[in-house]
Amino acid sequence: MSAWLDYEQAPPWWLPLSHMVTAPCWLLLGAGLLAALPAGQVQRFQPEVLALTHLLTLGVLGNVMLGALWQLLAVAAAVPIRGPRWLLLSSYLPLQAGCAALVTGFWQGLSPGWLQAGAAMLLPALLSPALYGLHGLWRSPARDATSQGMRLALLSLLLTAVFGASMVLVLSGRLALPLPRLLDNHILWAAGGWLSLLVLAVARTVIPLFLITPAGQEKQVSPERLLAGLIGLASVSMLLGLDSLSVAMVLAVCLSLCWAVLRLLHGLLHSKRPSDPSRRGWQSACLWLLVAIGGIVTLQWRPADNILPVLSGWCVLAGFGLGAVLSMQGKILPFLVWLQLKLAGLPRRQLPATHDFLAEASHARLLQLHALWMLCGLAWLAWGKSIPLAMATLLLGAYWLWLAARVLLRHQRCLRQLPVQTGS
């Protein structure tokens, strides 16, 4: 236990930052793809829609979530991040290459070669942080809700990757398994497990601390454990082809998610820091998740509906997922560079405050652009016109990247003020 809590065991600032700066670049690429999208009503299994979905989940959300994960493992669970360069090589680089290959494969009408190349690179990209994190959490003395939630989220990431890779093998004719069951499981573990469990687990600690909300009463069964258990049961019933039980379990997952989100919303309503822009960001993210849950519940009675799955997916991934990570960006990104400069030895009077790296007004504007982007997405689903969404994506991605670049430029200017080291 000698090393835990030590800054030297925290990830070097460039590891989470690489992920966080890459995410808006993927969003910009998404704007280009949206602009090139053929006109017409959105179809759930349209190859271009599948390409855009994976660009959003892996390129944008995957990068930010993995970047935040490295930081959270160290801070919340005292997991030392050893070998950061190895992590960059084994996870960050294959994630970008794998995402590019997978998106190309989908865009080209499910091209087996590209999809297999994507899966081959994405497996190590996702399995290495999942296994690294699980191993670290296993040894960590932390037993709090966030650490437990991270364990469950990382297990979900493992299963998401395995189901995804299995689907690629089925699509390539290398494996004979029922594709719809694999697909349902892939979506269940990705959206309900990895994304929702990680965000909810982090929110349970981060919201009361940073927005100073009343602490919720500890329950015998944590919402994350309940959610993970229900997802597990839903997964098994789907794999066994027990349709009625699957529907019942999916509804139970929705109820459990609803309960967790309403608890968060209740806390946010009573925040002692109502002026912090991240409060509104979290509230919006929670509301988008509630809309998505409504869509998923309705879908159980209208399984042939074409728009409901896409609408629910848009609300979960773009509304809840990206909304939550953008809310957290306002705190994580400036603090990472502030801490790095402090540890580098920048004198106290020259060290800018976190608002000097990212002002509250800029963060609020970013969240407003996200809201506009969400509405353009809904218009795309309703009328099939992708150009407004492409423009909004370009605006959101460019502004996000510009903010990140400003943070880095300010950091560079501060570094030049460092006193020259006179070593022996």
Partner 1 sequence: MSAIDTLTHQHRHCDEGFAACEAAVRQQDWEAARAALTVFCQDMEGHFTIEEQALFPAFESASGQRMGPTRIMRMEHQDMRELMEDMQEALLSQHADAFLGLNDTLLILMQQHNMKEENILYPMCAELLPDMAALISQDCHV
In the complex, least distance from residue 128 CB atom to partner 1, rounded to whole angstroms:
24
According to DSSP, residue 108 is labeled T
Query: Per-residue string for binding with partner 1, 49-88, x by CB under 8 A?
Result: --------------------------xxxx----------
Nearer Cβ to partner 1 (155/337): 337
Closest distance between partner 1 and the C-beta of residue 164, in Å?
32
Span of 126-134, 164-172, 202-210, 260-268 interacting with partner 1 by CB under 8 A: 202-210
Confirm or reject binding of residue 348 to partner 1 (CB under 8 A): yes
**For residues 13 and 106, which CB has a smaller minimum distance to partner 1 in the complex?**
13
Based on CB atoms, which residue is closest to partner 1, 302 or 342?
342
Residue type, 253: V
405 binds partner 1 (CB under 8 A): no
Q: Which residues contact 316 (CB under 8 A, 6 or more apart)?
A: 191, 195, 196, 288, 289, 292
By the 8 A CB rule, do 252 and 192 touch? no
Of 292, 282, 330, 314, nearest to 30 by C-alpha is: 314
Q: Considering beta carbons, is residue 144 or 305 the nearer one to partner 1?
A: 144
Q: Is 305 in the site for partner 1 (CB under 8 A)?
A: no
Residue whose CB is less far from partner 1, 154 or 249? 154
* Contact between 144 and 76 (Cβ < 8 Å): yes
Q: Which of 273, 375, 382, 413 binds partner 1 (CB under 8 A)?
A: 273
Binding mask 123-142 for partner 1 (x = CB under 8 A): -----------------xxx
Nearer to partner 1, 104 or 205 (CB): 205
For 130, 377, 379, the CA distances from 31, given in Å and listed in that order, are: 30, 12, 15
Q: Minimum distance between the CB of residue 7 and partner 1, rounded to whole angstroms?
A: 7
Q: Given the complex with partner 1, which of 7 and 402 has the nearer CB atom?
A: 7
Q: One-letter amino acid identity for 227?
A: L
Residue 144, Cα to own-chain centre: how many angstroms?
A: 21
Give CA–CA dist 363/394, Å, rounded: 17
Residue 205 near partner 1 by CB under 8 A: yes
Give the residue among 138, 150, 143, 140 at the shortest CA–CA distance from 1.
140
Q: Taking Cα atoms as reference points, which of 88, 111, 87, 91 lies closest to residue 101?
A: 111
Site string for partner 1, 225-264 (x = CB under 8 A): ----------------------------------------
Max Cα–Cα distance, the chain, nearest Å = 75
* Residue 125 CB partners (closer than 8 Å, separation 6+): 90, 91, 92, 93, 94, 95, 98
Residues that bind partner 1 (CB under 8 A): 1-7, 75-78, 140-144, 146-147, 205, 209-210, 212, 215, 272-273, 275, 331, 334-335, 338, 342, 348, 352-356, 360
